Amino acid sequence: MLSLPSSTPTDSVRRNWNKANWETFSEHIHSTGIDLTNLQGKEDTLQAVTNVTTILHLAINVAVPAGTPRKPEAPRWNHSLTLAKRWVKRVDKRARRCPSSQNREDSQNNHRHWTTMVRAAKTAYRIKQLQSMNTKTIWNTIRHHNTHHRSIPPLKGETVFWAKCASLRNALFPAVNNIPQQHLWDNFLTSKLDLY
CA atoms of 98 and 89, how far apart (whole Å): 14
Q: Can you give the residue ranges of every domain in the chain?
A: 1-70, 79-144, 150-179
What letter would DSSP give residue 182?
Answer: P
Q: Is the pTM of this model over 0.75?
A: no
> CA 46 from chain center: how many Å?
42
36: Cα within 13 Å, side-chain hemisphere? 10
Interhelix angle 79-97/101-132, nearest 10 degrees? 160
- 155 has pLDDT over 50: yes
Distances (CA, A) of 193 to 180, 187, 188: 21, 17, 15
Q: Tens digits of per-residue pLDDT, 28-71?
A: 888 888 777 777 888 888 888 888 889 888 888 888 888 777 67
Extended beta strands in 22-132, E state:
none
The number of angstroms, rounded, from the C-alpha of 192 to the middle of its chain's C-alpha atoms is: 41
